[in-house]
């Protein structure tokens, strides 16, 4: 079955993304002992293919100038053309994977299993996978028939990266298959995120505020605490969506990746997109009124409380203790 | 521009404690507050703003039980011109592909230039828009946080990608886009707005009307089945501090000081 298990390897600045080896682990938890094949598409991707070759049986290289930017609308017809019938393809559940995966599964006529965080094994042709719902408040077991193949997106960070070097993969140049690709969506440019007034990625104590603060008028309560602690203020996505704080303050996969020593999360539910932006295993304290909030699964210290009551008392105690 | 926006009625996970019901068969739904999926609300606002700029019509559709009518009405109160409700006992238990198949049938009943969905909903799957695009064979883009109309043939769009960067593309019409939160500021809907559309008729489409034979969608047609819900056991979890507000604040100060959190 090895010949039919594929991992789509994404890469940045000539290096394979961390997800590549995580997807190998996910593939092996699905099909124990398997050696998946890799798909690498882009322009000048020879070094990426060499880099990952040791982790795969084969590495299919699609090297074309037209693929310089990863456009899911171009790659979908290519994958439909080259994947064998019955193939299982694993992708990272990131902004590229969720752009490509759902439509690809339809075009291949196979089962789509999104955002998998765990695998309970395969029973016959039924995959038993673990997912999360309601912003991580509850998990679910899903059973999927993958007899005809599957496209599976795997949550980044959910599986440990496989040890490199187990396989001696051969790079197969399939670039000829990627000629004459056309799409009705064309890439124009990439606009990098703007820098803000402070760089939260360099701060070692962050107080981060989320939707639980309730109202823009309550932000000063947090700012007073930030000042008393001598910390920096960051936030989760809903605060930026509501335009209460600048985008440069946002922690998460669609914001900044931070690595503080201490992280105080106020009214933040703890979606994986937010937690994915917190690195370096900080001392994480979470205050939330919802005892089921997912943030309590990853926090070191948790408090179930109303921010409006607790914050002024906390700020006052900190000022007195100085 | 004629725009179809797909919306879902969901328990608002920001307002609710979601817990697992008896045997894990479902979440506890007794006291849940339902609303329109947050991402979908941004999609409706975006559609209304496009039509305000270039003219056209906004139709809102929801696949769900009859209670989904309340959110269709709410989005009409925002300014959508029509509402549709796709409901049938045979739709229950649909997987993502089932929902996309129902929406494809809805889309085929009229001529739309653009279909918007929310980027994701309560189950976090982020799949229906991409599947719908593929079923219709229309181009698709996910996580869209910018739309500019360029004549009647194409749109210039932005996608939110990792690190807060924005990927700019041109996409041909007709197309399907999934909308990311933050693309706009959805307008407030007051009681008066809801009253205005309280008696507007919302056509109901069932499997027969949509040409979907039993077994093609719903639980019978699903390749992906949710077997149960459970409470995740991840690591040790947080050490929970309890006590009065004063006591908890005192403990927090001690911990923050010990870990260098107070400068």
CATH number for the domain that contains residue A14: 3.40.50.620
Q: What is the pLDDT of residue B234?
A: 58
Q: Do both A268 and A238 map to the same domain?
A: yes
Q: Chain A within 8 Å of B137 (Cβ-Cβ)?
A: no
Chain A residue at shortest CA distance from B234 = A297
> Are B164 and A94 within 8 A, CB to CB?
no
- Asked if A192 and B165 come within 8 Å (Cβ–Cβ), the reply is yes
Domain annotation covers residue A185: no
Whether pLDDT at B161 is above 70: yes
The pLDDT of residue B157: 98
* Tokens at A120, concatenated: 């309970």
The rounded mean pLDDT for chain A is 94
Asked if pLDDT for residue A1 goes beyond 70, the answer is: no
Q: What is the pTM of this model?
A: 0.94
> Looking at the complex, does the CB of residue A217 fall below 8 Å from at least one CB of chain B?
no
B108 touches chain A (CB under 8 A): no
| pLDDT surpassing 80 at residue B204 | yes
Tokens, residue A229: 């602690």
Q: Do A31 and A148 lie in a common domain?
A: yes
Percent of chain A with pLDDT over 70: 98
In a domain, A205, yes or no: yes
Subunit contact A321:B226, Cβ cutoff 8 A? no
What pLDDT, on a 0 to 100 scale, did the predictor assign at position B97?
97
Test B249 with A317 for CB contact under 8 angstroms. Answer: yes
Structural domains in chain A (count): 2
The chain B residue lying nearest A146, using CA atoms, is B223
Do A174 and A204 share a domain, yes or no? no
Residue A187 lies in a domain: no
User: Does A268 lie in the same domain as A170?
Assistant: no
- Contacts of residue A252, Cβ cutoff 8 Å, sequence gap at least 6: A236, A237, A271, A273, A274, A275, A276, A277
Q: Among A145, A178, A211, where does a domain finish? A: A178
Set of chain B residues whose Cβ sits within 8 Å of the Cβ of A310:
245, 248-249
* The pLDDT of residue B233: 67
**Smallest Cα–Cα separation from A196: which of A252, A262, A256, A238?**
A256
What end-to-end distance do the CA atoms of chain B give, in Å? 56
Same domain for A217 and A149, yes or no, is no
Chain A residues with CB under 8 Å of B228 CB are: 140-141
- Averaged over A120-135, what is the pLDDT? 93
Please tell me the predicted confidence (pLDDT) of residue B237: 82
Per-residue pLDDT tens for B29-51?
988 999 999 999 999 999 999 99
Phi, psi of A258 (to 5 degrees): -115, 160
Q: Tell me if A189 is assigned to some domain.
A: no
Closest Cα in chain B to A213: B14
Kindly list the residues from chain B whose CB atom is less than 8 angstroms away from the CB atom of residue A147: none
Q: Does B221 touch chain A (CB under 8 A)?
A: no
Q: Is A319 on the interface with B (CB under 8 A)?
A: no
**Would the pLDDT of A3 be above 70?**
no
Residue A227 shares a structural domain with residue A172:
no
Mark whether A71 and A158 lie in a shared domain: yes
Same domain, A26 and A103: yes
Judge if A156 and A38 occupy the same domain. yes
Say if residue B123's pLDDT is above 50: yes
Same domain, A122 and A210: no
B228 has a chain A CB within 8 A of its CB = yes
For chain B, what is the mean pLDDT?
A: 95
Closest-approach residue (CA) in chain A for B124: A133
> What does the pLDDT read at residue A33?
87
Label residue B217 by pLDDT band (50, 70, 90): very high
Domain that holds residue A24: 2-178
Q: Which of A114, A145, A231 sits opposite B125 (nearest CB)?
A: A114
Range B2-221 has CATH code 3.40.50.620 = yes
Give 3-state DSSP helix, strand, coil % of chain A, rounded to 5. 35, 30, 35
Integer CA distances (angstroms), A218 to A239, B58, B161, in order: 12, 36, 30
- The answer to whether residue A64 sits within a structural domain is yes
Would A190 be classed as within a structural domain?
no
Q: Do A138 and B230 touch (CB under 8 A)?
A: yes
**Chain B nearest C-alpha distance from A30 (Å):** 16
Instruction: Give the residue among A210, A33, A49, A207 at the shortest CA–CA distance from A135.
Output: A210
Q: For residue A276, give the CATH number of its domain.
A: 3.40.50.1220
Is B223 close to A111, i.e. CB distance below 8 A? yes
- Residues A173 and A63 both lie in one domain: yes
In a domain, A109, yes or no: yes
Q: What are phi and psi of B93, to 5 degrees?
A: 85, 10
The answer to the question of residue A184 being in a domain is no
pLDDT beyond 80 at B214: yes
Task: Return the axis-axis angle of helices A72-82 and A97-108, rounded to nearest 10°.
Answer: 40
Q: Does B236 touch chain A (CB under 8 A)?
A: no
Residues A285 and A223 in one domain: yes
pLDDT bucket at A151, cuts 50 / 70 / 90: very high
In a mutational test of the B interface, the residue from A77, A99, A311 whose CB has the highest number of chain B CBs within 10 Å is A99
């Amino acid at each position: 079955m090895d010949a039919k298990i594929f991992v789509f390897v994404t890469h940045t600045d000539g290096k394979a993304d961390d997800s590549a080896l995580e997807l190998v682990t996910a593939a092996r938890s699905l099909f124990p002992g398997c050696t998946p094949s890799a798909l690498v598409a882009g322009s000048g991707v020879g070094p990426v293919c060499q880099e990952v070759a040791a982790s795969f049986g084969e590495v299919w290289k699609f090297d074309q100038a037209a693929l310089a930017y990863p456009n899911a609308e171009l790659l979908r017809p290519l994958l439909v053309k080259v994947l064998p019938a019955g193939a299982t393809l694993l992708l990272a559940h990131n902004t590229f994977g969720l752009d490509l995966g759902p439509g690809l599964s339809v075009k291949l006529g196979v089962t789509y299993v999104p955002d998998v965080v765990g695998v309970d094994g395969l029973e016959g042709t039924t995959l038993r996978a673990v997912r999360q719902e309601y912003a991580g408040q509850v998990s679910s077991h899903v059973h999927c028939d993958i007899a005809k193949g599957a496209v599976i997106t795997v949550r980044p960070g959910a599986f440990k990266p496989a040890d490199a070097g187990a396989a001696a993969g051969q790079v197969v140049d399939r670039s000829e298959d990627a000629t004459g690709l056309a799409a009705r969506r064309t890439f124009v440019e990439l606009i990098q995120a703007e820098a803000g007034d402070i760089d939260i990625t360099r701060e070692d104590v962050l107080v981060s505020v989320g939707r639980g603060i309730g109202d823009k008028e309550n932000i000063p309560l947090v700012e007073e605490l930030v000042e008393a602690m001598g910390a920096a203020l960051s936030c989760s996505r809903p605060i930026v969506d509501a335009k209460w704080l600048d985008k440069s303050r946002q922690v998460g996969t669609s914001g900044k990746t931070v690595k503080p020593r201490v992280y105080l999360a106020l009214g933040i539910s703890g979606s994986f997109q937010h937690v994915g932006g917190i690195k370096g295993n900080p001392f994480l304290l979470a205050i939330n009124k919802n005892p089921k909030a997912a943030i309590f699964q990853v926090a070191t210290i948790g408090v179930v409380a109303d921010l409006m009551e607790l914050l002024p008392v906390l700020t006052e105690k900190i000022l007195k203790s100085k | 521009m004629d725009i179809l926006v797909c919306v879902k009625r969901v328990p608002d996970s920001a307002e609710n404690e979601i817990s697992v019901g008896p045997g894990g068969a479902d979440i506890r739904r007794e006291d849940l507050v339902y609303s329109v999926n947050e991402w979908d609300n941004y999609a409706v606002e975006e559609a209304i703003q496009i039509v305000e700029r270039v003219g056209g019509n906004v139709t809102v559709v929801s696949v769900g039980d009859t209670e989904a009518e309340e959110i269709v009405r709410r989005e009409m109160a925002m300014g959508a011109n029509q509402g549709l409700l796709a409901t049938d006992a045979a739709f229950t238990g649909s997987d993502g592909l089932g929902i996309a198949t129902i929406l494809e049938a809805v889309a085929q009943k009229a001529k739309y230039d653009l279909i918007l969905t929310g980027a994701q909903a309560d189950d976090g799957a982020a799949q229906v828009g991409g599947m719908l695009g593929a079923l219709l064979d229309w181009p698709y883009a996910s996580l869209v946080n910018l739309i500019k109309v360029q004549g009647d043939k194409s749109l210039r769009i932005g996608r939110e990608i990792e690190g807060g960067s924005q990927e700019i593309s041109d996409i041909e019409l007709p197309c399907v886009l999934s909308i990311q939160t933050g693309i706009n500021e959805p307008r407030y809907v007051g009681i008066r707005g809801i009253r205005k559309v309280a008696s507007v008729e919302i056509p109901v489409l069932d499997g027969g009307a949509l040409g979907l034979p039993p077994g093609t969608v719903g639980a019978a047609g699903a390749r992906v089945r949710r077997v149960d819900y459970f409470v995740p056991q991840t690591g040790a979890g947080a050490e929970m501090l309890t006590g009065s507000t004063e006591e908890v604040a005192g403990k927090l100060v001690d911990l923050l000081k010990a870990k260098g959190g107070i400068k």
